[in-house]
Every structure is written in C-alpha cells, then in structure tokens.
Amino acid sequence: MGFYHYLSFGIILFSIGVVGFIIRNNTVVLLMSVELMLNSVNLIFVAFSRYLHGTEGQVYVFITMAIAAAEVAVGLAIVISIYRLFGTLDISKIKLLKG
C-alpha cells in the first residue's frame, strides 16, 4: 500500500460522489454525495501530507471536518423544511422556478 494507492482511492471516492450527485434525485442522497466528496478530499490531504513529510495536511483535515459538519447541519435543516412544504424529497419534482 503506497502513496499512489491512497491517492487513487481518494480520487475514486470523489468520483463516486460526483456521479452520485449527478444521477440521484433524492435531496438527502445528494447531501450524502457531497459529504463523500469532502471526506475523500480529507483522505487525499492526509496522503499528500504523508508523502511530503509535512504536518499541514493533517491539520487541514480537522478544518474540513468542522466545515463539513456546519454545512450538513444547515443542509439538513433546509431539507426538513423542504419535506414539510412539498411532501417530497425528490428534487426533480420540486420545480416551481423555471425559465
């Protein structure tokens, strides 16, 4: 297990997140995809940090985790309001705005 394994694993996880974000319609699944993307970046940071013999990358992981937590807190609050108003979480059925 070398550096390139970790880097490739991180990039593959990120791509899964991107694909999930594009093909899924459920709002909660979209939030989960974004979380997957953020966490895979954490993995890439740690891999680079180890490869470059630096410590900054590992510190950035904690910053990213805090930001991801704040983002998902606001995101879930908005999702709950959406469900109360529309009765559905399907983003393709929520389309009052268009043009």
Partner 1 sequence: MNFVIPDVNLISLLPEIILLIFATILLFVQTGSEKKRICALLAFIGLVITLVMVPFYWGKGIEGFGGLVIRDNFSLMCQTMIIVAVLLAVVYSYQYLVFEDKNIGEYYALTLTSVMGMNIMITGTDLIVIFLGMEILSISLYVLVAFFKTVREGMEASVKYMLLGAFASAIFLLGISFFYGASGKTALNAFVMLDGTSAMAMPLFFMGLSLILVGLGFKIASAPFHMWAPDAYEGAPTSVASLLSVAPKIAGLAVIFRVGIGMAKYSPEIMMTIIAFMAVTSMIVGNFAALRQSGLVRMLAYSGIAQVGYMLISLLGIREGGGSALLFYLFIYVLMNMGAFGIAVLLTKEKDKRLLIEDMKGLAGQHPIIAFTMAVFLISMAGIPPMGGFFAKFYVFKHGIEAGYLWVVIVAIITTVVSLYYYFRVIIVMYMTEEEEKGILPKHAEVNLFNAVLVAVALLIIVLGVIPGSLLEIAQHAVAF
Q: State the minimum distance, in angstroms, from the CB of residue 12 to partner 1.
A: 13
Query: Binding to partner 1 (CB under 8 A): which residues in 31-60?
Result: 31, 34, 37-38, 41, 44-45, 48, 51-52, 54, 56-57, 60
Q: Which two tokens stand for residue 76?
A: 């879930």
Determine phi and psi for 73, rounding to 5 degrees: -65, -50
Where does residue 82 rank: exposed (0-12), middle (13-18), buried (19+ CB within 10 A)? middle
Q: How far apart are CA 85 and CA 90, in angstroms?
A: 12
Out of 5, 12, 65, 86, the only residue in the binding site for partner 1 (CB under 8 A) is 86
Which residues lie closer than 8 Å to 65 by C-beta, 6 or more apart? 42
Residue ranges in contact with partner 1 by CB under 8 A:
14, 17, 21, 27, 30-31, 34, 37-38, 41, 44-45, 48, 51-52, 54, 56-57, 60, 63-64, 67, 70-71, 74-75, 78-79, 81-82, 85-86, 91, 94-99
